[in-house]
Amino acid sequence: STQSTWGEALPFKDRASIFLKAADLLTTKYRSTVLAGLMLGQGKNVWQAEIDAACEVADFWRFNCKFAEEIYAQQPPENSFAVWNTMEYRPLEGFVLAVTPFNFLAIGSNLHSTPALMGNSCVWKPASTAIYASYLIYKILEEAGLPPGVLNFVPSKGSDVSRAVLPHKHLAGVHFTGSTDTFATVWQQISYHLRPYHQYPRVVGETGGKNFHFVHESADIDSVVNNTIRAAFEYQGQKCSATSRLYVPANKWEEIKEKLIHQCSTIKVGCVEDFESFMCAVIDKSAFDTITHFIETGKTDPSCTLIAGGKYDDSVGYFIQPTIFLTTDPNCKLMEEEIFGPVLTVYVYNQDKYEDALKLCDSTSKYGLTGSIFARDRIAINKAAEILKYAAGNFYINDKSTGAVVGQQPFGGGRGSGTNDKAGCFLNLLRWVSLRTVKENFLPLSDFKYVSNSPQP
């Protein structure tokens, strides 16, 4: 079987060499091809394609080899006299299903390669809107020497994969990135089949987010505006970490409003071939319809006022202008639900009720993925970090809510945003091994009796 020839028989250094070679192939021979495929297939401008495909995919492959090396080196620190203790990091018994999204090729490349690096075979179900770039990654791994059967590339409907794969008794794990509802359905289906499974499947998921920028009155206003424009509108807001909520103190709102509207008006929306395009088309008609429905909801909500954008056009491609609403209702639909598009909603709070506003931010959404505090006042920063402790698995101070870097900011969140198993660090790799403790005794036991059983003098 693949398991016996890959994870059990092939030493780690040989498995690692494949992914290290793939990283070199990606960043040299296939760099332009993969970037072009990502731009045309997923609508990324050249900058977003570069940081996703050429940088982050290679970072995952290289850093994961380092993380795995460190994991394998972890052994019991003590050995009693005449005893040798070791830990074995075995691959799981079975296969891992990787379900990957359209928006990041890096995520698509990591979700199957992490379990594979640790010795597992994988079934990879890519998003239906990300087939071509994903296939290029598969072919690069194949050229790097990945043996047949280790990674099984299966483009298909999600429902077909669910019917064929989730009930399989040798399903050992699911590595998922996608919507919160889909992940809940996957987990529920797994629960139906717990008794037939050969082992309890490991379930790791990163799902949605309703991410925030929270502004204190001591913040640098220009930094707030520029970071918010980037985080809300880069890649058309189609990032699970994209900013869609902005909390602003009343005494700073007029200045922030003026600069937000001005900067928003300078954003160029266009085709990926035009390198001046900051935003391009959203991924497909379904996304277009969902996002524009939220925009129309905001236009008809009496608590919301459209202050920028709000226009869209699907005559040639699915283009949506960057859109900003101001709301007087902190619990309106636009503040609570994930939109996954270029729509930002602003709530203005009384600067004298800073802590109350922080508590409101914490309780507004079911998600807990990313969030940022902007402030110069260190006491205000500390208070935000305390109150928003569980509101974001990735918490940023004076920086935008997007852009986690492999090896620097391990990524993932709790609450409705996933299992928080932190892609981009050693913790995620540990989910794809089953440990065995081995104790070897060097000296034979000459008597079964305890010392205390001996006759007393």
The stretches of 331-419 forming alpha helices (DSSP H) are 333-336, 354-364, 378-387
**Continuous segment of H or E residues that includes residue 286:** helix 285-300
Distances (CA, A) of 251 to 63, 254, 255: 45, 8, 9
**Continuous segment of H or E residues that includes residue 293:** helix 285-300
User: Residue 89's CB: how many other CB atoms inside 10 A?
Assistant: 19
Residues 299/324, Cβ–Cβ less than 8 Å: no
| 55 included as an active-site residue | no
Distances (CA, A) of 78 to 163, 258, 436: 47, 64, 16
Catalytic residue among 240, 332, 361, 425: 240
| 258 included as an active-site residue | no
Nearest by Cα to 129 from 152, 151, 158? 158
Catalytic residue among 56, 122, 206, 338: 206
Q: Cα separation of 193 and 95, whole Å?
A: 16
CA within 13 Å, CB half, 413: 28
Residues 53/106, Cβ–Cβ less than 8 Å: yes
User: Residue 223's CB: how many other CB atoms inside 10 A?
Assistant: 15
For 403, which DSSP code?
-
Tell me the pairing of strands 343-349 and 367-368: unpaired
Q: Cα separation of 64 and 311, whole Å?
A: 43
Residue whose structure tokens are 């007393």 = 456
Residues 393/412, Cβ–Cβ less than 8 Å: yes
Q: Cα separation of 175 and 166, whole Å?
A: 12
| Residues counted in the chain | 457
Q: Tell me the sheet residues that pair with 344.
A: 324
Catalytically annotated residues: 206, 240
